[in-house]
Structure 1
Amino acid sequence: METMPDRRTLESAVASAGRTPSLHNSQPWRWVLDADGLTLFSDNDRILPATDPSGRQMLLSCGAVLHHLRTALIARHWATEVERMPDPTNRRCLATLRFHRTDAVSDIDLRMAEAIGHRRTERLPMEAPPQWEQTESALQTLVESTGVHLSAIAEHERPALEELSRRIGGERRSDAAYQTELSWWAGHGMYPDGIPPDALPPGQRTVATEREFPPGSATGDSAEAEDRAAILLLSTTTDTRLDWLRSGEALSAVLLACTARGLATCSVTHLTESESARVFLRDTARIEGAPQAMIRVGVRSGPVPDAATPRRPISEILFRTHP
């Protein structure tokens, strides 16, 4: 039985998984290949200390890249067995993967893998998603298998979220360390890191529940419209590093499933970065667990951007151990 993809297959899957969204496009992951499998590590040199001092968002990003990789591989007829947090003495070691060939590849698997290349983060206002009840139900079924709970923010709860977002924005404006970090990662477009100007709204914030970014050059028919996107909340019963990783996997599943259905998405990270904001979300959404991530889902009014946000070369994220 084959137990390892060939080099071309593995590198192709890792490159595809690199399309995973991450906080400010920081891409805080690295893969290490050995004779038996592949190991996912966090790249702690890429943590954003002013924005994400606990590393919560970093682990969410790493969980998302783990799910993206497994999705890319299953479409190439390689199934994966995952052990999460395998080494309690090494906090950077997040998961080990072992492989085996499989012919059990469904149409859903193929559509999810294809969605990796089509997904784009939509920070402009969106139209309401059609047939939302059916989509929400399908997403709940998809996420529950990961041990993460998905709930929708009700329309009457939206003003409270918008007020929370405005309050956080006001606090962040006077945070010099945060502003310095944001200005490096967002809007410069000089490196395969960070968010380029053409992925940012023309104003600081055109969606009330979104983070304030430096003005960019993204265009869309709904730039001045009211945002009608549905808002989803991912939460977990407990609040451990494993929960953060699993929440990232669930986040990836939702983003790809929505993209496969022709919907646009945007991860809303700033509303879950602080403990006080998470408490507010828990009370507002009336959930018993810990809020982990939020996602806007809707219909993009403008065209899908032709160019994808730059990503790190594979030489910076995939490494090989020596016998």
Structure 2
Amino acid sequence: MGAPAETMPDRRTLESAVALASRAPSLHNSQPWRWILDTATLRLFSDNDRILPATDPSGRQMVLSCGAALHHLQTALAAQRWASTIERFPLSPDRQCLATLRFHRLRGSSDTEIRLAAAIHRRRTERLPMDAPPEWQRTVAALRKLAERAGAYLDVIGEHERPVLDDMSRRISRVRRADLAYQSELRWWTGHAVYPDGVPADTLPAGGRAVATEREFPPGRATGETAAEEDRAAILLLSTATDGRPDWLRCGEALSAVLLACTDRGLATCPVTHLTESAASRGFLRGLAGSDGVPQVLIRVGVRPPPRSDTATPRRPLSEILFREHPGAGVG
């Protein structure tokens, strides 16, 4: 008889994978996820204490962020020769439970899996102007397949549609400036230097916004003195067939797949979410892209001119996101 199949990574492997999963992008770096480990499974929960009610009242972006973390975890484990079987939205009395993962050992990891896991370490959100990505049509074809495999649609916003998109972004920003709850929430989550969550000032444009398509942040310390004066990044739109929590989770997984594939190709990326935070703007994006899907998130993709900062945005410690059986006790 052969040796029994291995069905659970050891503690060190799991902790390493969860730490890498926490590198996933999230709204204002809120990191709204919790992982619960038992003897046979690892479960992913949204952390509703970290929802941003003024910016994300439905929790859509919170679930999308968790989907990105879920795909990051799969990617990290695949590089360590572990396959993940995912049950999304399992029957559970806890509505915050988004997925249950079970594992089995692989004989080896592919070069692609190893490269994508390495890309998790290198990925950064680039809010400054970028140059146009090279070999773009070939890259788009590959990214479209990755998005579809994850359950989302990927469209390209054409260059001739960019001025209209920029104008809509500016109009949204003007409305948001008068929203006191939104502004208070934004300032609470941005500009910190000592907390392991939120968006550090070093990653925010010195003028508050260097790219018209981007969200308007409080002024930071990131400068683009040698960066492109005009943003020539390509813009992608991820959409889903419908607009429920399963769609949001799947779209987050697609977002992660696209971001890591771009990073592996040497491209810089920036998820853009403020343009999908209202029904009106989402309807506008649907028409702009000529898509039948429900817009969920935009992504800027390009080449970041030097000098380029490789400083990683801080992340919460494992003791705050990984628990054994019950959220009250840290990993033992």
Aligned amino acid, residue 251 of structure 2: S
Shift of 1:87: 2.4
Shift of 1:308: 0.4
Shift of 1:238: 0.9
Q: Give the counterpart of 2:114 among 110, 126, 130.
A: 110
- 1:209 counterpart residue number: 213
Query: Pairwise mapping of residues 1-323 of structure 1 onto structure 2 (< 5 A)?
Result: 1-87=5-91, 89-223=93-227, 225-321=229-325
CA contact (8 A) 1:124 1:207 kept: yes
Shift of 1:221: 4.2
Shift of 1:286: 1.1
Consecutive unaligned residues in structure 1, runs of 5 or more: none
Shift of 1:171: 0.5
Shift of 1:88: 5.7
CA contact (8 A) 1:124 1:222 kept: no
Aligned amino acid, residue 80 of structure 2: R
Shift of 1:276: 1.1
Q: Scaled by the length of structure 2, what TM-score is found?
A: 0.95
Q: State how far apart, in whole Å, the 2-side matches of 1:249 and 1:224 are.
A: 30
CA contact (8 A) 1:125 1:222 kept: no
Aligned amino acid, residue 232 of structure 1: L
Q: What's the % identity of the aligned pairs?
A: 69
1:1-57: per-residue Cα shift (whole Å, max 9, x none)? 010000000001101111111000000000000111100000000000000001011
Shift of 1:303: 3.0
Aligned amino acid, residue 42 of structure 2: L
Q: State how far apart, in whole Å, the 2-side matches of 1:142 and 1:216 are.
A: 34
1:220-269: per-residue Cα shift (whole Å, max 9, x none)? 34556110000000011111110000000000000000000000000001
Q: Scaled by the length of structure 1, what TM-score is found?
A: 0.97
Aligned amino acid, residue 114 of structure 1: A
Instruction: Say which is worse superposed, 301-310 or 62-71, in terms of deviation.
Output: 301-310
Q: State how far apart, in whole Å, the 2-side matches of 1:222 and 1:144 are.
A: 37
Consecutive unaligned residues in structure 2, runs of 5 or more: 327-332
Q: State how far apart, in whole Å, the 2-side matches of 1:241 and 1:87 are.
A: 14
SS of 2:150's equivalent in the other structure is: coil
SS of 1:181's equivalent in the other structure is: helix
Aligned amino acid, residue 205 of structure 2: P
